[in-house]
A and B are shown apart, each in its own frame.
Chain A
């Protein structure tokens, strides 16, 4: 427990926020790259 009584679970949140950003940015990049290649 932190001093304010909340459990120390922030590491899981950081991992979730990072992984979400990685997935969405990667997919955006792949779509962008494919769109640029299209005739």
Chain B
């Protein structure tokens, strides 16, 4: 089985698994009393944010490895992960305001978490524009590796921004030192969604990384 078809199988499994998560989240997970149905957006928003930060973190790691070893496979992986991260960032930045409007009363606010996240999205876009603008492969890989490392440095700041600054954004309820503050039924739905999004990340990156998948842009 080629890498391309392996990526397709993982993606298809991830999509089916996500469909099952949809069913569980919508019909078999209790409605939160204070927020109503809008709370269920959380089962997509948090895993999308996780996949976005995972993508940018791995872009940074692959970029460091590229600069150390000059192996073009790391550059290809970083390019793949950055593009996939952009897709997940779109989900994160779409679902976030849809939750914020009924709960905060506004679609958007310029607090630390939201602003840094938007900055990360622009960084993903800039990373791809940079790659498209440089024809010479060695120079392209070197310049984009530097930008990728900058992006990775942003990831812990985004996660910790709710502790470091006064912000409207809720604090982490799963990825934190103490136990998750969710009832078991909601926690299970969230964890299954994290798994579905991680599978999709792996499937997308595998397809994008496979020979023939990385030479051109999507479209």
Same complex for A and B? Answer yes
Within 8 A of A (CB), among B26-48: 26, 31-41, 44-45, 48
Per the CB 8 Å criterion, the residue count for chain A at the interface is 29
Contact size range, B: 35 or more
| A28 to B10 CA separation, bound complex (whole angstroms) | 11
Q: Write out, one digit per residue, whether chain B residues 2-43 have a CB within 8 A of any chain A CB (1) or not (0).
A: 001001100100010010001000100001111111111100
Q: Which of these, B8, B26, B94, contacts A20 with CB under 8 Å? A: B94
Q: Are B38 and A38 in contact (CB under 8 A)?
A: no
Q: Are B15 and A6 in contact (CB under 8 A)?
A: no
**Stretch of B111-119, B181-189, B205-213 with 4 or more beta carbons under 8 angstroms from chain A:** B205-213
Closest to A32 in B: B8
Q: Pick 10 A–B contacts, CB within 8 A, sort by A.
A: A7-B35, A9-B36, A12-B41, A12-B101, A12-B102, A16-B41, A17-B26, A17-B41, A19-B98, A32-B207
Chain A positions near chain B (C-beta within 8 angstroms): 2, 5-17, 19-21, 23-25, 27-28, 30-32, 34-35, 38-39
